[in-house]
Homo-oligomer: A and B are copies of this chain.
Amino acid sequence: MATSEAPVTRIMVAVNESTIRGYPHASISSRGAFEWTLQKIVQSNTSGFKLLFLHVQVPDEDGFDDMDSIYASPDDFKSMKNRDRARGLHLLEFFVTRCHEIGVACESWIKKGDPKEVICHEVKRIQPDLLVLGSRGLGPFQRVFVGTVSEFCVKHAECPVVTIKRRSDETPQDPVDD
């Protein structure tokens, strides 16, 4: 049986924070993509997969609007950097803990930059077998203003990509939120 000797399948899952205020956790679509991967692909074959969690932090949106950038001292930047780091680690902890509970091997790391560019760059570097992305599943009208990371990655990432749309019953009041 040829398939029984297959090496571990490496699945990259790009994860991000929720945009909902006062909700410092993984976004609804990130969690959806992760749970889909576990339920539909990994199932009970936990030794056959390794999950690679990539969290891309967007520099301009992570804290600058909370402080006066003109008067920000080097120490302000340092504490901001530490806070970003803490938030990123907190986010990844959610996914890594769940993997440990289930017994799926995983790795996780944080990068800064434009998510779509960084994800494609990391795919090139890491060469996973599959990239799983959560998507808000916005309609064409909303997409014009918001743009989607998943559309870009489907076109440009150098590996197979699957986009998991958010379930309609999980859409928050403002569908642009996640």
A residues apposed to B, CB below 8 Å: 1-4, 6, 9, 36, 38-46, 48, 102-103, 129-130, 154, 160-165
Contact = CB atoms under 8 A, between A and B. Distances in A.
Nearest to A33: B160
A54 to B, nearest CB: 18
Given A36-B160, A154-B154, A160-B36, A6 B44 contact: yes
5 contacts: A3-B42, A41-B41, A45-B45, A45-B48, A162-B162
B129 A40 contact: yes
How many copies, total? 2
A2 to B, nearest CB: 7
Contact of A162 (B9, B46, B160): B160
A2 B44 CA distance: 9
Contacts of A46: 3
A47 to B, nearest CB: 9
Given A1-B102, A130-B162, A161-B163, 16 more contacts: A1-B103, A3-B42, A3-B43, A3-B44, A3-B46, A4-B44, A6-B39, A6-B40, A6-B43, A9-B40, A9-B41, A9-B43, A43-B45, A43-B48, A160-B162, A160-B164
Contacts of A2: 38-39, 102
Contacts of A38: 2-3
